[in-house]
Chain A
Amino acid sequence: MALAHVASSTSRSNLLRPISAFISPNLRRQLSTDDTRTLTIETSVPFTSHNCESPSRSVETTPSELLSFFRDMATMRRMEIAADSLYKAKLIRGFCHLYDGQEAVAVGMEAAITKKDSIITAYRDHCTFLGRGGTLLEVFSELMGRIDGCSKGKGGSMHFYKKNSGFYGGHGIVGAQVPLGCGLAFAQKYKKDGTVTFALYGDGAANQGQLFEALNISALWDLPAILVCENNHYGMGTAEWRAAKSPSYYKRGDYVPGLKVDGMDALAVKQACKFAKEHALENGPIILEMDTYRYHGHSMSDPGSTYRTRDEISGVRQERDPIERIRKLILSHDLATEKELKDTEKEVRKLVDDAIAQAKESPMPEPHELFTNVYAKGYGVEAFGADRKEVRAVLP
């Protein structure tokens, strides 16, 4: 019964629908009495700070939040693994950068902010997009270049956007998203929105000069910009200590305060982002370094094992996996049984499979789509195809 309910809502699947819509009847009974109970849970490690106070290690959460963390991260994990298969089946082309292992950052951040805040990231953006309210159908359609994709098939893996819920992409040039994110924060301050921007970048991008240029201006102008270094310890195939003289990324802002966070602990991420938002609105920019890990290589063309040992990868999976961490918390607090969590994972798997099936039915863009959206306002100018005597279009 519950599964049928889930299947019919696939086409409108939205990670942020109330958890009660998807949970099996057993779980719902249990929650109805304990729904509003607050739990206080300690983060895995204390926060380390630079030029500021650390937030408390004790994080307030609710059973509902923990269950949604589990479900959301399981969805993200399943989505990325499915994308791996689709890429190997050659249904996804070009570049595909997977986020499995890093889910806690996307999910913890969403728990601390609203859709009026903005997020911008680089090309490892599928899960961040999902967290911002994107659907599985939009993800898989875009990856396969279909018109139901979030960028109508014209962007691809690295160019997901959802402006109406504060997600500004989706950028292929390493580091470029950080000044852009500071620009979003500039606009938020200019418009007196009372909102903030999270600009995500990796340990590879952390050495880019434009970051320091943007950080300098953000600090001078007190912009509500939060720079989040998703430190998965490898910039493409290069380990952090080979690329950065100082891999203490949370300290690299110098005059800008920073916080080092266990990025595999969704609750720690939530606490840090909440702290950072309050800080940024009052005092300007702050840096968060999320200590995280990606199980896949840099992209689908990288096995990820020539510069890391298999022991290291399996070690992280055993000791620090973000989904397992939440599973243990849920079980130890009796918020659900092991079977119920496994059922959730089965439902998620079916949701993902259904979305892929639906995405495969989505049509390819028509040829004329080559020439749409070149400009917002084209003045009726002519644009040309490869053979301009054969193919011409008028830009509206």
Chain B
Amino acid sequence: MRGILRQRVGSYMTVHEALNSALDEEMSADPNVFLMGEEYLCSNLHFLYQISIGLLKKYGPGRVFDTPITEAGFTGIGIGAAYHGLKPIVEFMTFNFSMQAIDHIINSAAKMNHMSAGQISVPIVFRGPNGAIAGAGAQHSHCFAAWYASCPGLKVLAPYSSEDARGLLKAAIRDPDPVVFLENTFLYEESFPVSEEVLGSNFFLPIGKAKIEREGKDVTITAFSRMVGYALKAAEILEKEGISAEVINLRSIRPLDRATINASVRKTSRLVTVEDGFPQHGVGSEICTSVIEESFSSLDAPVERITGADVPVPYNEDLERKSLPQVEDIVRAARRTCNCLA
């Protein structure tokens, strides 16, 4: 059972196809899985990412529900359906709009299993694009990884590659807890190689495990989502300068794979964290602290974090570029850690 679109060449798949095929397979396997989101009925608007393309036609309006533009209402309805035992996948057109529903995500979903002492679990997935979108302005470019990942009771996943997209989305849908699934618009059309195993209908990735995308020995660079690609490019540049960077793709923001991160830093003794969200109280802050707590004696340099600028994301292209991490920022930070006298 593979995706609806057949645009794969050889064994490559775009993230868009990966997500679409994951949704298709999980809907096929479990009749309690259903989709809810805006604009599912009109597929010709240019701004829509259409991750669910073809699914309404295949499964019908009894499985794919088109909602009005009322996030608080439909998110609450999705969570109520999950209380009763269904498995909703609620789409936010972007996670910026999830703020209208954030009370439900936190208070009605995340905390419910604990408050009810296990009586009511909430098997729901909230998915959609997160973070910067080119030229979209401040209100449409916010990264929510840190906010959601701070809340006990939620799981927060951020895929990078097509393998991540398929494996993590399938795991999220099968998971009995509320999962915030943070996609990225820049990655939707990127193509990645996928193995036969990844294409299998029972393929899924473990939640809470990071992936070492590139092994190295001089500095650990952690990243998630789009920034993984930037970190890999930075690693290539650093290689030419004689610095061997280990790039970790977090995959899971909560639970955070502290074990893999710390093991890597104990090997390399240097850390650079990368994210495109706001710096204060960000994902990098948590990773840096974890490393200081667990691997202090291994560090040969202060921990470094590369993040989005501490300003709302502006519209002008140059300013926008300056407000988000670029490859050279990651390279510079890695060099700093290596230039430090131990």
Contact = CB atoms under 8 A, between A and B. Distances in A.
B104 A187 contact: no
Interface in B271-311: 293
B106 to A, nearest CB: 10
A317 B257 CA distance: 60
Contacts of A376: 113, 118, 121, 123, 176-177
B4 interface: no
Interface of B: 34, 62, 65, 67-68, 70, 72-86, 103-104, 107-108, 113-121, 123, 152-153, 155, 175-177, 206-208, 255, 258, 293
B78 A183 contact: yes
Nearest to A183: B80
Contacts of A372: 117-118
A187 B107 CA distance: 20
Nearest to B61: A221
A213 B116 contact: no
Interface footprint category on A: 35 or more
Contact of A179 (B65, B75, B114, B121): B75
A217 B67 contact: yes
Contact of B68 (A168, A185, A209, A213): A213
Which residue among B81, B103, B155 has the maximum number of chain A CB atoms within 10 Å of its CB?
A: B81
Contacts of A152: 117
A150 B116 CA distance: 8
Contacts of A181: 80
B116 A180 contact: no
Contacts of B78: 183
A23 B65 CA distance: 52
Contacts of A178: 76
Interface in A177-209: 178-188, 190-191, 209
B38 to A, nearest CB: 12
B152 A383 contact: yes
Contacts of B121: 376
Nearest to B118: A373
Interface in A346-396: 372-377, 379, 381-383, 388-389
Contact of B107 (A172, A221, A383): A172
Given A186-B81, A186-B86, 18 more contacts: A151-B115, A151-B116, A161-B116, A178-B76, A179-B73, A179-B74, A182-B73, A190-B62, A190-B81, A210-B76, A213-B73, A214-B76, A216-B73, A220-B68, A372-B117, A374-B114, A375-B177, A379-B255
Nearest to B74: A217
Nearest to B114: A373
Contact of A187 (B86, B113, B116): B86
A173 B117 contact: no
A173 B109 CA distance: 12
A118 interface: yes
Contacts of B82: 183
A176 B81 contact: no
Given A183-B82, A184-B84, A375-B155, A161 B76 contact: no
Contacts of B77: 179-180, 182-183, 186, 214, 217-218
21 contacts: A150-B117, A163-B119, A168-B80, A168-B84, A169-B120, A171-B108, A173-B107, A176-B76, A176-B107, A180-B76, A182-B77, A183-B76, A183-B79, A187-B86, A191-B85, A210-B76, A218-B77, A376-B123, A379-B207, A379-B255, A388-B293
A157 to B, nearest CB: 12
Given A182-B76, A214-B77, A161 B119 contact: yes
B115 A159 contact: yes
Contacts of A274: none
Given A151-B115, A161-B119, A374-B114, A187 B76 contact: no
B290 to A, nearest CB: 10
A279 interface: no
Contacts of A217: 67-68, 70, 73-74, 77
Contacts of B81: 183-184, 186-187, 190
Nearest to B289: A388
A155 interface: yes
Nearest to B70: A213
Nearest to B175: A377
A152 B78 CA distance: 26
Given A163-B119, A217-B67, A374-B153, A210 B73 contact: yes
A160 B116 CA distance: 7
Contact of B84 (A154, A172, A173, A183): A183
Contacts of B293: 388-389
Nearest to B258: A382
- Residue in B85, B107, B119, B207 with the greatest tally of chain A CB atoms within 10 Å: B119
A271 B78 CA distance: 30
A213 B72 contact: yes
Contacts of A169: 116, 120
A86 B78 CA distance: 38
Contact of A118 (B84, B115, B116, B177): B84
Q: Give me the 7 closest cross-chain CB pairs, A-B, nearest first.
A: A183-B80, A179-B76, A213-B73, A187-B84, A213-B70, A180-B80, A152-B117
Contacts of A188: 84
B285 to A, nearest CB: 15
Given A118-B84, A151-B119, A216 B104 contact: no
A153 B62 CA distance: 39
Contact of A381 (B70, B85, B115, B255): B255
